[in-house]
Amino acid sequence: MNSDLLTNPYVIIIGLMFLVILVYVWSRKNVSTNRKRQQRSFRDAYYEKKKEREQHNKTDQ
């Protein structure tokens, strides 16, 4: 009975579709999380550099 279920082409197709959807959703979640993390880091680095430039310009004047 169990081996018949695993060799059924419909079960295999449905299982593969489920796996593809699961990987797609998981990948999108990870990509969006990484983008948010990178944007936050870029923003912080930008403001740090901006403060350094402002301080450097004040000392030059």
What is residue 1's three-state secondary structure?
coil
How distant, in Å, are the alpha carbons of 6, 39, 46 from that of 36? 41, 5, 15
pLDDT at 5: 77
- CA torsion sign for 45, 47, 53, 56 is negative
Could you tell me the residue ranges of all domains in the chain?
A: 30-61
pLDDT at 44: 82
pLDDT at 61: 64
For the chain, 61 residues long, give each residue's pLDDT as a single digit of tens.
567 777 889 999 999 999 999 999 999 988 888 877 777 677 788 888 899 999 888 777 6
- How much is the pTM? 0.52
Residues 6+ apart with CB under 8 A from 12: 6
- H or E stretch covering 6: helix 2-7
Cα-to-chain-centroid distance, residue 33: 4
